[in-house]
Amino acid sequence: MRRETRQAAFLQEIMHEMGIANSVLEAVRTEMGLHPGTYPCKVGVRIGEMAAIDQEALRFCFEAIIQETDLASLELGIEVCPRRHRCEICGQEFIVRDYDSRCPQCASLETACISGDELELAYLEVEEYGASTAGAKSTQ
Amino acid sequence: MERVPLERKVLSENDRIAGELRARFQEHGILCLNLISSPGSGKTSLLERTLESLPRNDRVAVLTGDIQTENDANRLKRFNFPVKQITTGGTCHLDARMIERHLADWRLEDLDLLFIENVGNLVCPASYDLGEAAKIVVLSVTEGEDKPLKYPSIFFKSDLLVLNKVDLLPYVPFDINVAAGNARKVHPGMEIVKVSCLTGNGLHEWMNWLEQRRTAHKSLQETVS
């Protein structure tokens, strides 16, 4: 494949994560308005296994858009959430592996998904200006 | 160092607009269906077949998304229902704001059914709520039967799987039972219809599903109002 075609294919693939990275950054900027005198160090997101988000691509996009901005040192924390089901017969909650949604306790197939498609902002860590000698540089 | 809990969705702005759209659809009794598939699986063909068989006075409209060209809208306009193309200019999915903008000059009180044909892509459209009542995923038999396992999100979130191009089954190594089994692994109990938009085979099953959805939506509407 020609180099430009490969690049275009790659960009097309990560376009989704680029949009997500932008939304995360927008949320950080909005939130920072509520915390004067501080700067953001780390933003935490939760991503479900079923959310169709590639972690590495998200990290790549995030780092690309913060580069050479005032948020260049902002760290991205990603927590991956497995798909969890609850058995409708015995109430057991369990993690679904390899699409096997049978209840491990009573073998029932009547189980319902309770989590695993998260795409959520979890937290933001902020530091007061002058509080750390590391300044705005990341501790990553 | 202070940790501030955020606890909200990354796409909360999209979800907010989608929520408003859903409320407007509800208010006007519109059933909105969001069609998603890989490029070339047959979303537009399915809509052509559908529009062709609906009564001429049916209150139906279509928004169709692509990165470039008005080709799909032109194909669908032949049936004289309101059709509008959304060209995203590069974005690989439709978002709620695009829907809101393109609905602006339609009178929602004139509609009962709105189809949204998403950009051909099995990944991103799964994340963006458009205010629809249901997502429908189209998979054709020239693709792999393991698509549901590779792209679980969209199969998990769709109410119906339309398996298209079944006329080609004799010529391709596609086991339709394996594909259906894979879809139901990801989404237990998922409804599946098998169609050929080329020969018309199985389309009555799809039209029945659609009719049932419309009836259910209407009776729900009457209970609410």
CA-nearest of B53, B115, B64 to B88 is: B64
Q: What's this model's pTM, rounded to 2 decimal places?
A: 0.85
Q: What is the pLDDT of residue A139?
A: 44
Largest CA distance in chain A: 58
What is the C-alpha separation between B86 and B125, in angstroms, rounded? 14
- B180, part of any domain: yes
Phi, psi of B146 (to 5 degrees): -95, 5
Sheet strands (E) in chain A: 38-48, 75-81, 84-87, 93-95, 111-115, 119-128
- B105, part of any domain: yes
Q: Which residue of B has its CA nearest to A101?
A: B185
What is the C-alpha separation between B143 and B178, in angstroms, rounded? 13
Q: What is the pLDDT of residue A131?
A: 74
Q: What is the pLDDT of residue A88?
A: 95
What is the C-alpha separation between B126 and A52, in angstroms, rounded? 8
- Rounded to the nearest angstrom, the minimum Cα separation between A18 and chain B is 10
Structural domain of residue B162, as residue ranges?
Answer: 14-213
pLDDT digits (tens, 9 = 90+) for B109-146: 999 999 999 999 998 899 999 999 999 999 999 999 99
A79 three-class SS: strand
Total domains in the fold of chain B: 1
What is the C-alpha separation between A45 and B9, in angstroms, rounded? 9
What is the percent of chain B where pLDDT is above 70? 100
Binned at pLDDT 50, 70 and 90, residue B223 comes out as confident
- B184, part of any domain: yes
- B56, part of any domain: yes
Strand ordering across the sheet containing B2-9: A75-81, A38-48, A119-128, B2-9
Average pLDDT of span B182-199: 95
Residue in B4, B149, B186 to test binding to A, most A beta-carbons within 10 Å: B4
Q: Residue B181: CB partners within 8 Å, gap ≥ 6? A: none
The residue type found at A74 is L
* Residue pLDDT tens, chain A, 140 long: 456 566 655 655 567 788 899 999 999 999 999 999 999 999 999 999 888 888 999 999 999 999 999 999 999 999 999 999 999 999 999 999 988 889 999 999 889 899 998 999 999 999 998 875 554 444 44
- B30, part of any domain: yes
Question: Which CATH number characterizes residue B118's domain?
Answer: 3.40.50.300
- Rounded to the nearest angstrom, the minimum Cα separation between A68 and chain B is 23
Q: What is the pLDDT of residue B141?
A: 97
- B221, part of any domain: no
- B219, part of any domain: no
Q: What is the pLDDT of residue A135?
A: 46
Average pLDDT of span B190-196: 98
Residue in A53, A100, A109 to test binding to B, most B beta-carbons within 10 Å: A53
pLDDT digits (tens, 9 = 90+) for B43-94: 999 999 999 999 999 999 999 999 899 999 999 999 999 999 999 888 889 9
Q: Using CB atoms, which residue from A100, A121, A123 is nearest to B3?
A: A123
Q: What is the pLDDT of residue A132?
A: 58
Give the domain A3-128 fold. hypothetical protein PF0899 fold (3.30.2320)
pLDDT digits (tens, 9 = 90+) for B21-33: 999 999 999 999 9
